[in-house]
Amino acid sequence: MPDYRHALIIIVVMGLMTLATRILPVLIFGRGEKVPDYIMYLGRVVPYTAMGLLIVYCLRDVQILDAPHALPELAALAAVCLTHLWKHNTILSVVTGTVLYMILVQIVF
Q: Which residues contact another protein (rule: CB under 8 A)?
A: 1-3, 6-7, 9-26, 29-30, 35, 38-61, 72-73, 76-77, 80-81, 84-85, 90-91, 93-94, 97-98, 101-102, 104-106
* Least distance between another protein and beta carbon 51 (Å): 4
- Nearest C-alpha neighbor of 70 from the set 57, 58, 59: 59
With beta carbons less than 8 A apart as the criterion, state whether 71 and 109 touch.
yes
Q: What is the Cα–Cα distance from 30 to 24, expressed in whole angstroms? A: 9
* Least distance between another protein and beta carbon 64 (Å): 11
With beta carbons less than 8 A apart as the criterion, state whether 83 and 46 touch.
no
* Least distance between another protein and beta carbon 34 (Å): 11
